[in-house]
Structures are given as C-alpha cells and as structure tokens.
Structure 1
C-alpha cells in the first residue's frame, strides 16, 4: 500500500504541499470545506466590484486535474484520532472517515472579534467568498438606499462606511471604497452626491500598516487622507450594532452612525486547532495557533504537520512568523520535502526557514507601498510591483487574463466590472443561521417522512 497523505485545507499551504508531492509515491486525499482554492489577498476587490469571485477562487479540481495522485473531497474535519490515524469528516449531508500515514493541517485562519462575536452580525469580516459578496451587496446597496432617503441624518448614516483594522486588508478596503465614492459613482445618482460619503478607517494601534515601518506607514496614511479617508488610530471599538459603531479614544467615547461596517482587525486559528490540540496534547497560543516544532510538526507527532496561519513558529528574529501567503507557501513546500525525505529513508527534522520576500499593500489606483528586504517603495513604482506579484500568484492563465482586463476597466477608466449585488448576498448568512444547516434539515425531514407522519401528520423539523 502506498503512503497515504491527508491534507486538510486547500489554501496556499495545502495546495503548494500537494503540488510539491506530484511525483512522490504517495496517495493524497485533500479535504476542504469549499470546492475552490481562495486567493484571499484579492478578496477586497471582489467586495468592491473590481473582480468576480471566479477570478480569485479557481475550482480545486481544475487546478489539480493533471495530478493523478490526488483525491479531492468536500467536507469539514470534526475530529482527529491520532491512535487510529484517522480524521472524521462532516460532508454535506454525509459523514465519512479517512485514514492517513501523514497528516498535513493547513486550514487557514478565521476572523477574530476579540471575544465580541456578536459584532459579526453587523460587521462582516473578509475571510471567504461569502464575506466578500455580502460586503459587495452592503456597499453598493448603501448608495442605492441612501438615494431613497428623505431624512438627511439617514442619508449620512447610509453614506458612512467604517472599516475596523488598518492592516493591509483594511487599508486596501478603505482605499477602494473611497475610489468608488469619489471616482466611479459620482454623476450616477439624482438625489445624493457620492462625493459626500465618509470612509473612516479605525485601528487600536498608533499607525496605519504598522508592520511596514514608520516611513511607509506615514506615506500610506497621507495617501489615504488625500483620497478622502478619515484615519483614526489609537481608537478602540467597544460596540457595534445595526446602525452604528461605538469607539473609545483619547477624546473619550463616541458613536459613529453607519449602516455599513467592515471588520478587518484580527485573525484567529479555526476551531480545528482546538480539536487537534485536544487530540495531541499540543499547546496553542492566545490566538489559538498551534505551537509546532522547528520542522512544523506537532510535538510527539512527527506524522502531523501544521502549516501557515494555524502554526506558531518563531522566525529568526524570535517573533512568530506572520500569517501571510508566503509563510503558508514555503511551509507547504517544506512539509512536502520532509515527507519525500522520510519515504526515501533520509534524515528528517530539518528546521523550516522562512525567506521573507517582502510585504505589499495598495492604497488606491497607481499607489501602493512595498517593503522588500531593505528596499522601501511607495507610489506608482510600488503599485507596479504589486500588480506583477499578484498576477504571478493568481492560479490559472485564464484568471490572470481576466484580472488584467478588469483592472484596466477599474484603474485606467472609472468603471467596475462586477457591481451586481443581490438581496440573497446581503442577507443569506443571517437567513442560514436562522434556518439551520440545510443538509441536516433535509436529512431529518426525509427520515421523518419515511418513518411516517409525526403528531398532527406533519414531518418533524429541526433547527
């Protein structure tokens, strides 16, 4: 029997590990909660109407169609049995178990609301296609609803957009909403002036893009303010509801009326990290990330690799490696190399060494910041570097071509290729939460009908 590798997660870490094992004498089972690979750094462009979801989320089966040693399965891992070496998976309406010899866990990260999960109802994060489509509906819908209002205060609430978190995602989101309000939408409404929209970027820390250094941080803030973004640093969010957000700063407590809020302030490990920790005895940090050995395996379990956003591993500077795509990509390749060495009877346990290729963030069209080694770039030059890097890592030739075409429409012109937004996108998340798991309900309904009428003759329904 060939060596069985189970990979959990089709993000950068899982996908690059699988590709690195394409010629290895292994059978790979990939388990992922969606049927697509998500290029998360461009999600904000889906939310602001530049790109379609298909351009940032190619189907996994299409990406791996030439790799014959991979079996792709849809589902969510519920438990890991380290003694039996199995993972228990909940698929859509069906549960199943998969055996492994080596387990690679690269399930990414979830949005963190720092213990205030109720904020999510009114301030979606930016971690999934569902999030991006909901935000697209909320953002474009806000201008439409504002155009119907007769109360000036209501108009102001609908035209106030608050983005929480001034890291790359929040900064890029704020910049693109400002572009929408000031370049794309003016002249298209009869009763409102999109120029009057307020875009407020909030962060509890003292700087925008604080990991980029003081020089680039200051330039980024100046550019954001130049395009109409209100930047409020050293400001903590203490409350979020349907019509506004409450903050605390050195000026005291303040309420900002806003119908559209975006949460880009923090990340945490997914629930799978806790389950794996309980199964293996491995420790986790405050964000739920797993403390791994230097070769990215779990202590006492050399057969289990934890990669990317789920791992806590110190870099050369002693600080945990950042949750960025390059860490996931390189750790995925490292895990694959360790597996191949192990199968070849070679020594394993070599430490993972991360090579920092730099950080990039866009501010607006033709303006970005880039920190690459000792090189610090800003403005148009940094933007060109940003375009080149993102095109390189977009999976699939078709995705690159269509992305370039849509960027031309948005950046050279004033249009947005993907402005369609529906009620379903805006409210489906709340509806599904109220309705319950559709597959579970369908299974229960079918079972009830097959067993005969219950009580008054109607099938029993479950939440």
Structure 2
C-alpha cells in the first residue's frame, strides 16, 4: 500500500492562498484548495468594474482554469466555518451541503471583510468594495442614479440622485471617487436630455486629516490637488455617524450635518473574517483590534506549527493589508512546508519586501511610492498600468483589460455599463442566504 502523501489544505483563493498553492506545485504534497467562490478575485480593480471599465471575467478568472496544469491540487467550492486543530480537520459549507477535509498542514488565507466599525446596519445603504456582488450592485446604483435623475422632475430629488458619497480616502476610495468624477464630467455628458451629468456632486469623506495617508505628505497633497481638479469635494476630519436610504449624517468640527444622497459607497476599514475568531478560540491565539490572528514571525499560529495564517488573516509587524503582503506570506508558508518535508531547518521569519504603493486618481494621473522614489501624474499612471497588468492572471485577461482601458482612457466610452435590477436589489436576499448558513 502506497504511503499517504503530506496533505496541505489551503483556505482561500485570494492572493495569499493562490500563490501558496502555486508555490507547492512541485512539492511532494497533495493540496486541497477551498474557496467560497469559483474564481480568484483581483480586488484592487473592483472599482473599475463598478464604474463600467472592466467586466467581472477580466478581474476574476476561474480557479480551476488557473490551476488546470497543477496535478497535485484539488479545488473545492465552500466556505470554511470551522477549524479543529485537535483532529486536524476543516469543515466547510456550500449550497445544500457541508463537508470535512483532513490536513497535515493548513494555510489559512481567508482574506478580509468590510468593516463598518460596529455599524453593520450601514451596509444596506452603503455597499462596500470587497466582492463582485458589491461591485455589480454599485454599478447598478451609480448608472441607475443618472437614469432616475433623467426621469425626476423635483429639483431636490435630482440633486439627491446626482450626489455620490464615498466614505474612506484610502486608495479604494480615492480611485472610486476619481472614476465617478470622470464618468460625470467626461463620459456621460451629451447622453441625457434633461440633466447635465457634469452637475453631479462627488463627495469623498474621511475621518483622517489627509487622503492616502500611507503615501506620505507629498503624494497625499498631489492626490488632493488632482481630486479637486476633477471636481471631487473632499471632506477630511469628518466622521460618519449614520447612514440611511436617502442620505448620510456626518460629524465635523462644526457639528452634525446631513448630506442628501441616494448612492453611498463604503471604502473605509477592513476586518478579519469570522473564521479568524473561530480559529483564535480553537487555538488560544490572540487577535488584534481588527480580529486578525497574531502569528509567530514565521507566520505560524502560536502553539500550532502546522497552521499558517497569511495575508489579511495575520497580524505581524504592523504589515499592511495589501496584495504583496499576501503573495509573499503565502509563498513563505509554502516554502516552510517544503523545507520541513525535505528535512531542512524551518522556522525562518517572514521578511516582507515592500514593492511600493500605487493609486490611480484619474486617466493619465496616479501616485506611486516605491522605496525612496515617488511618482505622480503620467509617470505614476504608466507605472500603475504596468504593475496591474503584471498581476492580472491570464494572458486573455491582460489583452481584454488593455482593450477596455484603451476605450475608456483614450476614448470616451465605458464598455461595461450593463446593470440589472437583480444586481441592485439582491443584497438583502444574499444577506438572508448568508444568515441561514450553518
């Protein structure tokens, strides 16, 4: 009877889980990759999907297609709800079923969820930007707002419909605000009879005193200036205190104020998924304020060297929740497993190599911080373009993305404007489905 090979279970097919799985391609292991969707999502480009530039297929290639040549991996659809460190099993649920998988080594890369800072009721009226469902709903809300404004006759209603509020002035919020501004001022004018899309208000709100606070003062100031040139109203040191169907209430130095708006977008804050809490309770590990697992320097969970937490799941050295951290920590975990199986010394600490930060503000204008070097304007935008092309998975996706970027940035079209009532109103049904999961 053949000896059973080392079993590795990878939870999540984001950057951390996918790159960990690929790093184990030639290792003497059997990998089971469990993910809640059938695709790998390139989250940094969700805002372009929401604003009609890219389609879902271009930023979410099928996992099975990506890994079709990797013979030692099995891909399973499911959301992992429980890890049993004693039995070394994970339990997952999928529509209509649940199952358990055994492991010898476990890599948990379940990503992060949107954080509303204890105000989860805001989600119904201010969708986040963490999933394709979010982006499709926002696409319907954004383009639908212009259509409804064309039908409206009451000036107050029109103004409410044409006011877009983005909460959070990090990269996602800045990129979203910039693209909505380009829609209103460059792409949509001339397509409506009764309204002028250029009169739309785009308001970017953040509780911090700067936009893109992690990019440094120079690039932050450059980004703020460009947002103003686009017509974005930036309100800093402004805290959101309530969100409802027709508006948002904020607290500033001058007191409370209400902004009437039908379309609100939440791009502020992330939190670890529920699995992080369950795993912390099961292993006795500590978590940080965002719920991320506090791991050892080699990304293992304290007391459980067979369990690795990587990417947005781990709290280590104040590392940011960005794609490069997930990619590099996923590869590190895979490397540790391979060293153990080869009988080599393991336990080396994870060393993150910061390749820089990028954020696009408008066509031909982005900011980039790469080590000691800072780029803005066209140079930053070209760097942003190259980096994002490199990390898009699949040749076909790169080609079609370039074509859509050409149409959107050189011309005035948006090739992915289709939105359905199902996309706009399905959030409640999806939430009810999630609430009934075991």
Provide the residue aligned with 1:203 in structure 2. 206
TM-score using structure 1 length: 0.93
- Summarize deviations over 1:197-239 as a string: whole Å, max 9, x none: 0000000000000000000000000000001100000000001
Provide the residue aligned with 1:334 in structure 2. 332
Provide the residue aligned with 1:239 in structure 2. 242
Local SS of the residue matching 2:68: coil
Task: State the shift of 1:432 in Å.
Answer: 3.5
1:252 to 252, 255, 261: 255
Whole-Å Cα distance in 2 between the matches of residues 198 and 354 of structure 1?
40
Provide the residue aligned with 1:8 in structure 2. 11
Provide the residue aligned with 2:68 in structure 1. 65
Whole-Å Cα distance in 1 between the matches of residues 435 and 291 of structure 2?
29
Aligned-residue CA RMSD (Å):
1.2
Q: Does 1:276 pair with 2:259?
A: no
Whole-Å Cα distance in 2 between the matches of residues 251 and 6 of structure 1?
53
Whole-Å Cα distance in 2 between the matches of residues 438 and 247 of structure 1?
30
2:374 to 373, 376, 383: 376
Local SS of the residue matching 1:103: strand
Task: State the shift of 1:196 in Å.
Answer: 0.2
Which of the two has higher C-alpha Rg?
1
Task: State the shift of 1:437 in Å.
Answer: 6.0
Whole-Å Cα distance in 1 between the matches of residues 370 and 84 of structure 2?
42
Provide the residue aligned with 1:90 in structure 2. 93
Provide the residue aligned with 1:213 in structure 2. 216
Name the CA shift for 1:211/1:440 in 2 (closer, same or farther; >3 Å): closer
Provide the residue aligned with 2:268 in structure 1. 265
Task: State the shift of 1:439 in Å.
Answer: 9.3
2:233 to 223, 230, 252: 230
Local SS of the residue matching 1:178: helix
Provide the residue aligned with 1:310 in structure 2. 313
Q: Does 1:144 pair with 2:147?
A: yes
Provide the residue aligned with 1:286 in structure 2. 289
After superposition, residues 61-460 of structure 1 pair within 5 angstroms as 61-314=64-317, 320-434=318-432, 436=433
Whole-Å Cα distance in 2 between the matches of residues 353 and 42 of structure 1?
27
Whole-Å Cα distance in 1 between the matches of residues 81 and 226 of structure 2?
45
Task: State the shift of 1:440 in Å.
Answer: 7.4
Task: State the shift of 1:279 in Å.
Answer: 0.7
Task: State the shift of 1:92 in Å.
Answer: 1.5
Are the equivalent residues in 1 in contact too, given 2:168–2:206 (CA < 8 A)? yes
Provide the residue aligned with 1:451 in structure 2. none
Whole-Å Cα distance in 1 between the matches of residues 386 and 377 of structure 2?
15
Task: State the shift of 1:250 in Å.
Answer: 1.1
Are the equivalent residues in 2 in contact too, given 1:92–1:439 (CA < 8 A)? no
- Summarize deviations over 1:327-376 as a string: whole Å, max 9, x none: 00000110011000000011100000000000000000000000000001
Name the CA shift for 1:439/1:217 in 2 (closer, same or farther; >3 Å): closer
- Summarize deviations over 1:60-92 as a string: whole Å, max 9, x none: 000000000000000011111111100111121
Task: State the shift of 1:438 in Å.
Answer: 11
Name the CA shift for 1:438/1:126 in 2 (closer, same or farther; >3 Å): closer
Whole-Å Cα distance in 2 between the matches of residues 437 and 331 of structure 1?
29
Task: State the shift of 1:164 in Å.
Answer: 0.1
Provide the residue aligned with 2:27 in structure 1. 24
Task: State the shift of 1:29 in Å.
Answer: 0.2
Are the equivalent residues in 1 in contact too, given 2:358–2:368 (CA < 8 A)? yes
Count how many residue pairs are aligned between Structure 1 and Structure 2. 435
Name stretches of at least 5 consecutive residues in structure 1 with no aligned partner.
315-319, 442-463
Whole-Å Cα distance in 1 between the matches of residues 85 and 435 of structure 2?
31
Local SS of the residue matching 2:33: strand
Whole-Å Cα distance in 1 between the matches of residues 81 and 230 of structure 2?
46
Whole-Å Cα distance in 2 between the matches of residues 257 and 77 of structure 1?
40
Local SS of the residue matching 2:240: strand
Whole-Å Cα distance in 2 between the matches of residues 48 and 78 of structure 1?
33
Task: State the shift of 1:251 in Å.
Answer: 1.9
Task: State the shift of 1:431 in Å.
Answer: 2.9
Local SS of the residue matching 1:155: helix
Are the equivalent residues in 1 in contact too, given 2:107–2:308 (CA < 8 A)? yes
